[in-house]
Structure 1
């Protein structure tokens, strides 16, 4: 029997990885720097002269860190240092009481009822994405970035992507994500606070430009709220929500920080997942045709939130894309006191790496871990792993606020696209996944598009 035709993933290294190899690779592709044994290990230790890092794949340990005791394992600044020029003190980077305050203000905007309210804007962005596609050779990762940005601007600021400022933010973000790796020098070296953090000049310049544009949008919305003319969208909801404990809302600067992470989390991650989902479907015409049939049977000609309960196959396919290509491949936490994991003593300040990339493909957890199989989610193994080993949005108290939003947006846009278009792979253009801010294709995802 021939070997199964599996979707591409970076070639793991068979040997141990030294600090210096990481230092050479962190600006390129951190995924291929990992040794192959991590796809089977429950726990692995990585030593540097300055700190100890432990990757954990055992579901019970992941639950201990993310669910049972999240406040004992705050987010590590070793990752935050690389993102701070863009994200400031956003909810993605803060810890403790400050993070709790931010979530108390943000979470109400993403409650279930609000998803129904934002659905027409999401639908309009989907229709626009379908209309922008045309037959021929296309780089669909760019198309999905455009579509995901449109969703964010329509739902957050009631602006289509064609708006001048929205377009400029989108293009600046595209430039930013290709210059900013997940980790920078501060992730590996004990740099004092006064020392430069190793950000590229273009990264700093682009981050500054993005924040200036977001500041303009935020201040304009605050003026509209004062005048009583603001639309009832996510930005208005967040700006007008006050912390129930302090009675205070976000300042303009704080709101800029939050909008930056909404755009990063809601645009970058969705674009990554949608691009890979299209590629996976292009590789497997049978699943693609089944999704097209479901879309034709379920979708109406106007936005109806009830269709989301009927797009079951679209949801399973999108979930499988999130499993194989989790947009955020690694999360880093830090110990605040000595710990003992799997008979190993971890000192205070140790780095705990939780890698959806490895957990989602773990050979001791998943059946056919590297295969594309949307049907796995109805099997016993799939149901178990969905509960215990599937964390594309993290889990526990720090689960992504927009997880529910993403699980509406992704399946909806996939269904709308498949209803109109057929996608096929190009033999000499196999995308290679690499970790920028999110898991993207090194040279884009090129597909042949034709009408149905």
Structure 2
């Protein structure tokens, strides 16, 4: 059985300068191998202490039991603010609570059923595009990025990726991805809030262009809401939701911030997850054949088909375990604490790493292996409750988690219904973390029509 690839780990001890350099290049290979076994590890810098935690009850305390005592750290967000502004991904406290009160209703209950036709159309379009590459070796991350962006624009603004504004956002975002490291210098050196942050010129330029394009879309939608011609999609739902506490809706600027994170989170993470899932199918053809057989049930746009795609859901969950799109989450201690006999000072960084937690040797059976059947074992079910965080957990769980668990299995099944993907022996992907977990040199697969 082929083991899915993972990056090499660094030696246990390196200088702070070397660690910072490795971290900016790729946060996965910058970590020592002992983190796949440790319950907790401490990292010291001249400016602050950082603690990586894998022990399930500690993670539960931070994310679920006492989230107000461990707000989101500003350090990771520093590098993303030119694009995301004051979005729900970066805020804390009352601002964050207000944003979630307005956003969450758009993703509740029957809204998934309402958005399903748009997902279906995006899946059909993805299959049609892949059909033009039949017999070729394809960089599959580019294809899944295209498909995921199409889903976002269809469900959010009722426009396909071929719409000129959607295409311009998508194209500019590719430039932003190449220019934006996951960390800004403020992640390592605490800077006063009044001191201007330093960003690469092309990063600032791309972020500004993306935000201007999103502003155009947002203003157009606000005008249509005002004159009663707006379609009933996610953007309309969010922009017309009144905060039950202050009685206000989002301003244009606030909505631009939220659309930016919807595109980043909904497009970038889904693209990553789908690409790795297709690679795992290429390297595990017996599972690919089973999914292709199951996928024959996809013939009409009917939300009930999702209840029939059980194997696809298990496979997608396993891909999210092995390659969680968001590899690390950082919280900050707002009060003194003691974890595992360590005194945690105010301002300390608490790192929860789905990448290490999902492959933890003391928690999971066969942690590095690909085994979608694990979700039906006692160990798998226990770990799914305690050690599985592809969408975070607790109050800050991703509001689009249910959305992603429809989108991923649907597009995966739709593609495998018509196509077989085959691995290229000379191009084994190496996972690296930039904005999400991607492959260092792309994921190359041969596409063959069934």
Bin the TM-score by the shorter chain: over 0.9
CA deviation map 1:131-156 (0-9, x unaligned): 00021111110000000000000000
Q: What SS does the corresponding residue of 1:364 show, helix, strand or coil?
A: coil
Structure 2 residue runs without a partner (length 5+) = none
Q: 1:5 offset after TM fit, Å?
A: 2.6
Deviation at 1:175, TM superposition (A): 1.7
Deviation of 1:336 after TM superposition, in Å, equals 0.6
Determine which of 374, 385, 388 is the counterpart of 2:386: 388
Provide the secondary structure at the position in 2 that maps to 1:246. Answer: coil
Judge which range, 189-198 or 263-272, deviates more: 189-198
Give the structure 1 partner of residue 92 of structure 2: 95
**Residue in 2 that maps onto 1:299:** 298
Tell me whether 1:127 sits opposite 2:120 in the alignment. Answer: no
* Partner residue in 2 for 1:176: 176
The secondary structure found in structure 1 opposite 2:192 is coil
1:44 alignment partner, one of 36, 41, 49: 41
Does residue 72 of structure 2 align to residue 75 of structure 1? yes
In structure 1, how many angstroms separate the alpha carbons of the residues matched to 2:440 and 2:202?
19
Aligned counterparts of 2:422 and 2:8: Cα–Cα separation in 1? 24
Contact kept in structure 2, 1:26 and 1:181, CA below 8 Å = no
Q: Following TM superposition, where does structure 1 have runs of at least 4 consecutive aligned residues deviating by more than 6 angstroms?
A: none
Which residue in 1 is equivalent to 2:413?
415
- Could you say which residue in structure 2 is the equivalent of 1:447? 445
> How far, CA to CA, are the matches of 1:178 and 1:436 in structure 2?
9
Contact 1:141 1:445 in 2 (8 A): yes
Give the Cα–Cα distance (whole angstroms) in 1 for the partners of residues 357 and 376 of structure 2: 19
What is the rounded CA distance, in whole Å, between the counterparts of 1:16 and 1:196 in structure 2? 33
Partners in 2 of 1:17 and 1:359 — Cα distance?
23
Given that residues 54 and 356 in structure 2 are in contact (C-alpha distance below 8 angstroms), is that contact kept between their aligned partners in structure 1?
Answer: yes
Tell me the TM-score normalized by structure 1. 0.98
Aligned: 1:110 with 2:107: yes
Match of 2:61 in 1: 64
- Which position in structure 2 is the counterpart of 1:267? 267
8 Å CA contact 2:2–2:283 kept in 1: the answer is no
Q: Is the 8 A contact 1:43 1:58 kept in 2?
A: yes
Q: Does 1:212 align with 2:198?
A: no
**Which residue of structure 1 lines up, in the alignment, with residue 193 of structure 2?**
193
User: What is the rounded CA distance, in whole Å, between the counterparts of 2:321 and 2:197 in structure 1?
Assistant: 32
Structure 2 counterpart of 1:10: 7
Indicate the larger mover: 191-200 or 339-348. 191-200
Matched, 1:402 2:400: yes
> Match of 1:308?
306
Aligned length: 447
Q: Which residue of 1 aligns with 2:281?
A: 281
Tell me how far apart the structure 2 counterparts of residues 17 and 419 of structure 1 sit (CA, whole Å): 48
Per-residue deviation, residues 364-411 of structure 1 (Å, max 9, x unmatched): 000110111111111111101000000000000100000000000000
Question: Matches of 1:71 and 1:228 in 2, distance apart?
Answer: 40
Q: Distance in 1 between matches of 2:324 and 2:28?
A: 12
For 2:53 and 2:411, the matched residues in 1 are separated by: 34
How far off is 1:253 after superposition? Answer: 0.1
Distance 1:17 1:164 in 2: 48
Q: Could you give the per-residue CA deviations for residues 38-91 of structure 1, whole angstroms, max 9, x where no partner exists?
A: 000000000000000000000000000000001110000001101111000000
1:246 aligns with 2:278: no
- Give unpaired runs (5+ residues) of structure 1: none
Contact 1:329 1:355 in 2 (8 A): yes
CA distance in 2, matches of 1:432, 1:181: 18
Q: CA offset at residue 178 of structure 1?
A: 2.3
1-structure distance, mates of 2:305, 2:397: 25
Deviations 1:203-254, CA, capped at 9 Å, x for gaps: 1111011000000000000000011100000000000001011110100000
TM-score (norm 2): 0.98
Aligned residues of 1:393 and 1:403 also touching (Cα < 8 A):
yes
Verify the 8 A CA contact 2:328 2:355 in the aligned structure 1.
yes
Q: Deviations over 1:403-422 (max 9, x none)?
A: 00000000000000000000
Indicate the SS of the match to 2:226.
helix
- 1:328 pairs with one of 326, 329, 343: 326
Shift of the alpha carbon at 1:27? 2.7
Matches of 1:182 and 1:366, distance apart in 2: 28
- Counterpart CA distance in 2 for 1:304 and 1:175 is 36
RMSD over aligned Cα, in angstroms?
0.9
| 1:30 CA drift (Å) | 1.3
Q: Give the equivalent residue in structure 2 for 1:202.
A: 202
Q: Distance in 1 between matches of 2:338 and 2:192?
A: 29
- Give 3-state SS (helix, strand or coil) of 1:53's partner: strand
Whole-Å separation in 1 of the counterparts to 2:213 and 2:17: 38
Instruction: Select 2:346's aligned residue among 341, 345, 348.
Output: 348
